[in-house]
Structure 1
């Protein structure tokens, strides 16, 4: 008889099957090693963060304190279809204590093929934490404490936020703060990012968060704006986006092409994927209008990095 698999009973069950390792029952705080971490462990290629910012991919922990999100972006490859809306918040100490065990669990299947030295550092001495797995991290009420504790031992912490909660953006002190900016106006934002709250209020909050970036740099946080380029949605907005970016003046801009992966395939057609030349052209227009320079690019990840001119 053919083998059958029982369907997942809860959203957490479905996400666990996708490789999410939850830290505790009732919480959506999770760790999930990314593809680049696993490739680097085997001595292979590293992700574009290594190329752009010097991160050692095998020592990077991809995690989140919450999977809740207040946007439903069309291009998101993560699973909104199995969304967790209610949870018990863990303390920063509980999350940090569990991370080594969760990282080892997520990488255990790769151990026979890994470089022994890299395996040891990956599982016992990670030094980079990407708070970007899924969800909106600023919805976690103790995010500033979590970041501060992770950085105490000299680790770097990257946070990716949609910028809809400016008071939390004011409080946090990561090594690098990414703000997503995927539309040039309220109409485009509503269409592409599908906010769960009042679109006008959330768009206003994003603009406020962008205005905080100069202050974040004064505090020692490296700043970046990331735009996911989706063909047919925001690929004709470069000049208008550049105006918003020029006002925010982040140190870096990343123009990253949408990729037809995961659950986004349920929301967008494959024709929404821009090719690398289209991403380069968009980035050059941003650079010209915002007074930035092209710093680097990574074709496998479909991303072009721009840096503010001195």
Structure 2
């Protein structure tokens, strides 16, 4: 369980492994657990299984830690918020990624478990996941940042809560994720605890997926289920998903990690079997098929049946 905050937010986050792009900005980078496991020859993230992403060549980052949701299941700390910050230019962020990724992984260079080949690959990222924390669409220059990253040899994943549909229409990542936290407004308000009611905006963002603004790119909806809170009405979720043009759907269990342990108990974490059962109840209402499942991450991936 994380300790109570008693230090400046940036100091606490640095101890957690966050690498900041500038002292006055919350734009940050932090390699995830799967990146490090892959680097040392271990398991890779389920995105490798479903989408072919090589975990140790993936950069996890965000242009801002600000967020307009306080989701119960989020592992981030709401106590360590940046009140005001400087927005960096997309060029400033992109130019510093190689240095910060190398710095964050520096201790692994001398590990006997890391081969020279994998270390060199890790220093040549080919995937950028804009998903570390915060809501990236609150960053003013997000479309330009994604366009700049798209000019590299890598792919881009954008994960958003869907509250800024106008911004999302101007974003063209390789794969765009929108989170769906409930089948109805009441459940959404209960679990996402937003700054204001964004439910209609989220439905707009989801209905936009896969249409003209996403031409040539992949789209996905992520459903994170918390037992006893938003794991009801699979048909309701299915109706929203079916009306979208999303290519993929991830139905995933809440994981009892990080600061979510202060808000929820381990009993709120569904078993993989419960994720399977929920997905089976959704499928009759969907024109999707099961693409794959990962029991370690308790996630099932659906793909639209063309």
Q: TM-score range by the shorter chain?
A: over 0.9
Higher mean C-alpha deviation, range 286-295 or range 243-252: 286-295
Q: Is 2:208 aligned against 1:207?
A: no
Q: 2:271 aligns with which of 268, 275, 284?
A: 275
Q: Is 2:231 aligned against 1:232?
A: no
1:111 shift after superposition: 1.9
Q: Aligned partners of 2:84, 2:12: CA distance in 1, in Å? A: 16
1:171 shift after superposition: 0.2
Greater than 4 Å deviation, 4+ residue runs: none
1:118 counterpart SS class: helix
Q: Aligned partners of 2:231, 2:300: CA distance in 1, in Å? A: 14
1:79 shift after superposition: 1.4
Q: Aligned partners of 1:269, 1:216: CA distance in 2, in Å? A: 42
Q: Aligned partners of 1:216, 1:263: CA distance in 2, in Å? A: 38
Q: Aligned partners of 1:75, 1:216: CA distance in 2, in Å? A: 32
1:305 counterpart SS class: strand
Instruction: Flag structure 2 segments of 5+ consecutive residues without an equivalent.
Output: none
Residue 249 of structure 2 is matched in structure 1 by 253
1:13 counterpart SS class: helix
Q: Is 2:118 aligned against 1:118?
A: yes
Cα deviation digits, residues 184-228 of structure 1 (max 9, x gap):
11100000000012x1xx111001111211315752120000000
Q: 2:34 aligns with which of 33, 36, 47?
A: 36
**Corresponding residue pairs, total:** 301
Q: Aligned partners of 2:25, 2:280: CA distance in 1, in Å? A: 43
Question: Per the alignment, do residues 218 and 110 of structure 1 end up closer, same or farther by CA in structure 2, a change over 3 Å counting?
Answer: closer
CA contact (8 A) 2:163 2:205 kept: yes
Q: Aligned partners of 2:304, 2:187: CA distance in 1, in Å? A: 25
Residue 58 of structure 2 is matched in structure 1 by 60
Q: Aligned partners of 1:288, 1:154: CA distance in 2, in Å? A: 40
1:90 counterpart SS class: coil
CA contact (8 A) 1:38 1:58 kept: yes
Q: Is 2:164 aligned against 1:165?
A: yes
1:112 shift after superposition: 1.8
1:295 counterpart SS class: strand
1:244 counterpart SS class: helix
Q: 1:82 aligns with which of 80, 83, 92?
A: 80
Q: Aligned partners of 2:279, 2:260: CA distance in 1, in Å? A: 23
Higher mean C-alpha deviation, range 164-173 or range 231-240: 231-240
Q: Aligned partners of 1:216, 1:110: CA distance in 2, in Å? A: 43
Cα deviation digits, residues 119-157 of structure 1 (max 9, x gap):
11211x111000000000000110111111111123100
1:304 counterpart SS class: strand
Residue 3 of structure 1 is matched in structure 2 by none
Q: Aligned partners of 1:9, 1:288: CA distance in 2, in Å? A: 51
CA contact (8 A) 2:210 2:247 kept: no
Q: Is 2:183 aligned against 1:184?
A: yes
Provide the alpha-carbon RMSD of the alignment: 1.4
Q: Aligned partners of 2:185, 2:214: CA distance in 1, in Å? A: 29
1:241 counterpart SS class: helix
- TM-score norm. by structure 1 comes to 0.94
Question: Per the alignment, do residues 216 and 287 of structure 1 end up closer, same or farther by CA in structure 2, a change over 3 Å counting?
Answer: farther
